[in-house]
Chains A and B, each alone.
Chain A
């Protein structure tokens, strides 16, 4: 283990600056967590092994950070040599001593009272370059904050957050070279998607890639009529970067309206539900692959891309592994985007196979209907969603916290979302009659009772625990074979992290924080957090000791061995 030596008694701000070189070799700093996905390939794999399968039974809480906020905590903290930086809803940044959880400084950003987030006033985390932290805000700003003092350095407007019933930015930015890559949200509204790159020093916009081709551009004709103007296709999560080929990989969301193609036509609605391979210097598209053409199920492809180099079919290959919201695990060639194979990792009803190019063959009868179609799987929130996956180079397995569930899909008339509906969403999470308590696990959903209001926007009733559950799976990414499965009660909203101690950490919607044996899926340790987990764990060193942190409820719970 290449532990980062930390002098006893103190943490050291000489952890800053975090240079591009350090970001490129983030795997060489296992004591730190320098970006959202831990490394540019998004393995979310910690090379720390102090906590292992033998001693994990002794893991216990070392400190708690009390967030004191009712909103979901989706943040992935960053750690730099003993200092943890995390976002607290809505858009506050806290710097903590990573050994004790004591606050060093706070940066508070005040959004307007009303913002236009579909799914809670959430934020998933920060990016870091040099001495500067970067955060997206709900009112569509990119903020640069000095990591030493918490001072705001600059603030750049991304877009008018009130336009088209509302834009928002909730994902963690990604630093690539001298740029900050920023995605946007709003796919449940008639927005027009894009991905931006800003100069990391000045905050000036360097390029914008429109995720819906503009008139005259290639693939513009995949949208009927004027539907391209309001076709959604947002970029609300975080991407990956391959320095060797200088390629940025980023997933795109559903086309709008989510469950109704009447105005969009039967074209592919590019580049919705796709992965984009872009030149990070110019924003030019190198290639794309569309997982779900002409989607009517809100099956965003905004999952975290996972990059792998491996021998595949007799050759050393550069691959892209993707556990998609549509329920299939995909392997692509990441140099040219060519489809290799796809296999389901949850129950699915919509697909009877793929052609050579990876275009799905659709099973009839899997469309949302005005009266509601409850025979479609995976459910509205998908087999995977935004929650982070992990890959262990030791077990060579990819870990996915999957949602194996049945839900109601309802087609409604095309219309813009009304202000009242947005306000209701803001008050109670997503629409569909799910109140503030709705996300507290199987007993809090209420939506398990068939017939609960809300199907009109696709937020249909959930079904009984016998029909819907969550599972951590260990997938061989080169075959799509599921090697093991660890089932949990409720479809999850948290991600997973694996470690060199052969552990997989995560947490359930009921708050069970767990460590699984990365080789078998056997649960070796648990802690009753008793509140919803909407985040992915990290692991780091402070004062030479390994810790694991995960947000449960509004608390950042941090565990250690002694």
Chain B
């Protein structure tokens, strides 16, 4: 039930917050911009995200039951007002309304935007074209990672990684790749009773079976009654590049990754 529709502006935010406390719905008009957009607002929203959003969207917004918010793609509308309305009122059949005040909702809008543009405000020091050569050559990164339609699918798609990840994260992913592996790309080794061993990433699993994309990019499924052991996160599928590349080469690869912004 819509019991509060605000025409424009933000002058009635206090009223809206009051209404929000009494009613689950609050809708802002198209064109309304976020009045809570400072770094402090983003910081204040972090616990709100953990409490209300992380269960479905992942603790870092990487997605799970809910959409990957680091992608910066908002299928239910990308404007400030769209994001406010989506968070505040939910998506019928897909996402519950978040029961917070309007001020808090705006701060979450700022936080979500930051998640989707983590790498946008930074300038890499390395040489991107040199990094591209290493990515495609010495580093053999394309074996597992794709950019656009080129490359493997054992590792995460990197088409727009430069928009969604900051420089620190990219560097860490190269030097200590095990520090943060998205759940859909966790390594798994399936040891079969008949002696075979298959290594890959875990696609799905229940008490009866496990599904794996093996390191040759094949889709595999195993019944657990045929499995002797499942080793999770082992072996590490991505090499730690700190011992493979020089610091300069690492910086170049980071610069290249930072330059990948997708189609947007």
Contact = CB atoms under 8 A, between A and B. Distances in A.
A97 B209 contact: yes
A11 B218 CA distance: 9
Contacts of B217: 13, 148-149
A9 B194 contact: yes
Contacts of B149: 146, 151, 153
A149 B221 contact: no
B36 interface: no
Contacts of B226: 8-9
B209 A110 contact: no
Interface residues on B, range: 20 to 34
B75 interface: yes
A405 to B, nearest CB: 33
Nearest to A9: B226
A9 B218 contact: no
B185 interface: no
Contact of B209 (A13, A102, A148): A102
Nearest to A99: B221
A148 B75 contact: no
B75 A110 contact: yes
Nearest to A152: B149
Contact of A104 (B196, B198, B211): B211
A55 interface: no
A83 B219 contact: yes
Given A8-B226, A104-B204, A110-B75, A13 B211 contact: no
A95 B222 contact: no
Nearest to A113: B76
Contact of B221 (A11, A14, A151): A11
B86 interface: no
Given A8-B226, A9-B196, A104 B153 contact: no
Task: State the main secondary structure of chain A at its contact with B.
Answer: loop
Contacts of B146: 151
Interface in B150-173: 153, 157
Contacts of B192: 9
Given A102-B211, A153-B149, A10 B221 contact: yes
B153 A10 contact: no
Interface in A91-108: 95, 97, 99-100, 102-105
A159 B79 CA distance: 28
B203 A104 contact: yes
Interface in A314-352: none
Interface in A132-153: 146, 148-149, 151, 153
Interface in A1-53: 8-14
A200 to B, nearest CB: 16
Interface string B119-156: 00000000000000000000000000010010001000
Given A10-B222, A13-B218, 14 more contacts: A11-B220, A12-B218, A13-B219, A97-B211, A99-B209, A99-B221, A102-B205, A102-B209, A102-B221, A103-B204, A104-B203, A104-B221, A148-B219, A153-B149
15 contacts: A8-B194, A9-B223, A10-B220, A11-B220, A12-B220, A95-B219, A97-B204, A97-B211, A99-B209, A102-B206, A104-B203, A104-B213, A104-B219, A104-B221, A110-B75
The 10 closest A-B pairs by CB, nearest first: A13-B218, A97-B221, A149-B153, A9-B226, A100-B209, A10-B220, A102-B204, A13-B219, A11-B221, A104-B219
Interface of B: 75, 146, 149, 153, 157, 192, 194, 196, 198, 203-206, 208-209, 211, 213, 217-223, 226
Interface of A: 8-14, 82-83, 95, 97, 99-100, 102-105, 110, 146, 148-149, 151, 153
